[in-house]
Amino acid sequence: MRNIGIGIVGGGYMGKAHAVAMLAVGAVFGTGLRPRLQMVCATSAASAERYRADYGFVRATTDWRVLVADPAVEAVVIASPQETHRDIALAAFAAGKPVLCEKPLGASLDDSIAMTAAAEASGVANMVGFNYIRTPASQFARQLVQSGAIGRVVWFRGEHTEDFDADATQPANWRSFGAANGTMGDLSPHMINAALALIGPISSLVADIQTVHETRPGATGPARVTNDDQAQFLCRFDGGAMGHLMFSRVAHGRKMGYAYEITGTTGAIRFDQEDQNAVWLYKAEGPQAERGFRKILTGPLHPDYLPFCQGPGHGTGYQDQITIEARDFLRAIETGQPVWPQFRDGLAVMQVVEAAHQSHKSKAWVEVSK
């Protein structure tokens, strides 16, 4: 067991989540590497110092270059806006330091291609932060699919829907501008990643993307929203299954609508992140009158549940997903073996996002580049 110095770029919502996860992961999982919070980077000196004091970092900075170059920082977590991911990751890989990057991998497909190339050339551990697929319930669902518990998969429906921008009178903010901050850049990567993890690669798709609230109140009058509020696409997977994915930030009533349904030739699976500790399983067996979906509550027999709690049905939460992610990152560093999802998996998501944009513009089915 040895210590490893962690630097986190960004101290806000996700920066805090990663800091807490790094503080907890050794106790929860008994990891061979024990994180030490060496440095946090934020945009202002005041916020950087506040994060340092609140989370327990040794030092703080307003320059990510200082963080990456610091010899005490042995691994880098990127929890800053998408447009900053590329430069930080490339600098960290050039310094031979492992990187855990929040989703989406980059602000564009070009960013993601460059980041993946740098990651693979460096030979060091690299991961993308798709945390929702790490719930014990979704890990169990993945096992069910891969074991053939519902037969051959023929259909997948997935959504990531929330309502944080549903109110048209809400003033414009950073989410209102730039493709990377729209629904296709912000929400869709999570559910696309789920589809790829659960079903496999997507071969082709046809997409429709829409801005519902085209203007929002601004400081000096109406501000034009430059990105999308909702989107959907039909797709075909390499294995032959049909799919429908939808994404929205204006879906009234949905707080964490990360949900999917998987239909196979002998059964089906349903999951909803708003009830993240349960999987619904249907098997086409037994008397017809007794068939139906049954609710399976996660417990110690399901993946990554027991380290948090010994009681079935007690449940895990959002922060636990990030702690599982931290364990996987540390394992990749310690063993030198790849741990899913790597940067290449983040690139695969961005290739689907790019194909969706191309399809919307051409109003036609398009092939997803591989």
Distance CA 49, CA 129 (A): 25
CATH number at residue 249: 3.30.360.10
227, 179 Cβ separation under 8 angstroms: yes
**121, 163: one domain:** no
Domain that holds residue 245: 136-316+348-362
- Average pLDDT of the chain is 97
Residue with tokens 């964490």, as numbered in its chain: 256
**190, 98: one domain:** no
In a domain, 341, yes or no: no
Nearest Cα to 52, choosing from 43, 66, 39? 39
CATH number at residue 101: 3.40.50.720
- Count of the separate structural domains present in the chain: 2
Which regions in the chain score pLDDT beneath 70? none
231, 247 Cβ separation under 8 angstroms: yes
In a domain, 336, yes or no: no
The SS3 call for residue 331 is: helix
**269, 199: one domain:** yes
In a domain, 333, yes or no: no
User: Which pLDDT tens digit goes with each residue over 307-329?
Assistant: 999 999 999 999 999 999 999 99
**126, 141: one domain:** no
- pLDDT number for residue 1: 81
- pLDDT number for residue 174: 92
323, 21 Cβ separation under 8 angstroms: yes
Angle between helix 109-122 and 343-362 (nearest 10): 160
Residue with tokens 């997803």, as numbered in its chain: 368
- pLDDT number for residue 4: 98
**Single residue among 85, 106, 130 that ends a domain in this structure:** 130
**173, 235: one domain:** yes
In a domain, 331, yes or no: no
- pLDDT number for residue 43: 95
Distance CA 99, CA 35 (A): 14
**42, 155: one domain:** no
- pLDDT number for residue 287: 95
Look up residue 300 and give its two tokens: 């110690």
**253, 235: one domain:** yes
What CA–CA distances, in Å, run from 370 to 274, 324, 347?
33, 29, 9
Distance CA 281, CA 267 (A): 8
151-160 b/e with 16+ CB inside 10 Å = b? eebbebbbbb
In DSSP notation, 126-184 reads EEEE--GGGSHHHHHHHHHHHHTTT-SEEEEEEEEE--TT--TTSPP-GGGSSGGGSHH
Burial of 174 (0-12, 13-18, 19+ CB in 10 A): exposed
**153, 302: one domain:** yes
In a domain, 370, yes or no: no
**Single residue among 130, 151, 168 that ends a domain in this structure:** 130
**294, 248: one domain:** yes
- pLDDT number for residue 370: 78
**24, 168: one domain:** no
- pLDDT number for residue 70: 98
**310, 175: one domain:** yes
